[in-house]
Amino acid sequence: MNNNFSLSHRKEEPEKGILYIVGTPIGNLNDISLRAINILKNVSLVACEDTRQTKKIMNKFNISNKLISFNKHNSSIKIPNIISDLKEGKSIALVSDAGVPGICDPGEDIAKSVRSEGLDIICIPGACAAVTALVSSGLPSSSFVFEGFLPRKEIDRAKILVEISKSEKTTIIYESPKRLKKLLKELFKYCGGDREIMVARELTKKFEEHVGNNINEVIDFFNSKDVIGEITIVLKGINKQRDLNFDKFDMKKDLNDLMNAGLSLSAASKYLAKKNGLKKSEIYNLN
Ligand code: SAM
């Protein structure tokens, strides 16, 4: 792998054999950068998640260039073609439907393959819903965990929710509007109603909305509403010194939550023991 490229004096024109990962707006098209427009105009081709979506941006900024589709269904077929194009000296831009490719969008696999072939990648930064929500939440941003979409399988979901409930770091979660109320109920169950939260809806768009301050208030707010639009959740971590009391009651609640989600007593005890640096028997005997 060649990591010795000097990036400091790169020309603004795309260079041969480079994969450009290009961030695009998450709603407001004016958030596109001048560099992004320039790269999209001048690369040999643009690989995009959905050509119809990308055409909207291309049309808005008078960009015409060759588009090919690149998504989770065809990536294993397309990656070798893209790599051989790069090796032939073409420059290729990768965009997703919105935001930064690779962040809950196709991008990670191709970046890994391109790097492992010794080829270079340059990211043209753009809007990302996670960061946009985090910095507008006013919650601690010096250290945070990005969970993306939580797993749907109950056991995996329960494990992550236990982890989130104990984390000292701010957690960012993506959720669809139709599952928001279910997730808020789960956060209430695992974290309690007082935990600080911000639900960011429709970031950068006309009806942008930030709903807080704690889980109780947010549940009340959305209770009587049909939730529509795109949603990102920012949840404050706990103050371990003050809030986290690893007493038996607390641990027993986690044990019950995991068992209710389908884990055996043994598996749940093993999981919690590992997480909390305790012996499995200490947890097992709580039951
Ligand atoms: N690659 C994107 C990024 O960089 O943020 C994320 C793509 S992911 C498939 C889409 C999810 O991101 C949405 O379901 C929502 O949770 C979040 N999201 C995207 N745009 C948003 C917006 N304008 N407001 C709030 N959340 C948004």
Name which residue sits closest to atom 2 of ligand 1, judged by CA. 99
**What is the per-residue pLDDT for 5?**
47
**What is the per-residue pLDDT for 284?**
87
| 83 shares a domain with 22 | yes
Residue 196 maps to a domain: yes
Number of domains present in the structure of the chain: 3
Tell me the residue range of the domain where 258 lies. 248-284
| 137 shares a domain with 123 | no
**What is the per-residue pLDDT for 279?**
79
- Name every protein residue with a CB atom under 6 angstroms from any ligand 1 atom: 26-27, 96, 98-100, 103-105, 128-130, 174-176, 200, 202-205, 230-232
Residue 102 maps to a domain: yes
**What is the per-residue pLDDT for 247?**
65
CA of 146 to the centre of ligand 1 (A): 12
Counting Cα atoms < 13 Å in the Cβ hemisphere of 270 gives 5
**What is the per-residue pLDDT for 146?**
98
CA of 41 to the centre of ligand 1 (A): 25
| 61 shares a domain with 26 | yes
Which tokens go with 217? 């208030």
**What is the per-residue pLDDT for 9?**
46
Residue ranges in the chain modelled with pLDDT below 70: 1-11, 241-247
How far is residue 97's CA from residue 284's CA, in Å, rounded to a whole number? 47
CA of 242 to the centre of ligand 1 (A): 33
Model pTM greater than 0.75? yes
Residue 92 · residue 19 · CB < 8 Å: yes
| 115 shares a domain with 24 | yes
**What is the per-residue pLDDT for 166?**
93
| 171 shares a domain with 146 | yes
CA of 148 to the centre of ligand 1 (A): 9
How far is residue 284's CA from residue 273's CA, in Å, rounded to a whole number? 9
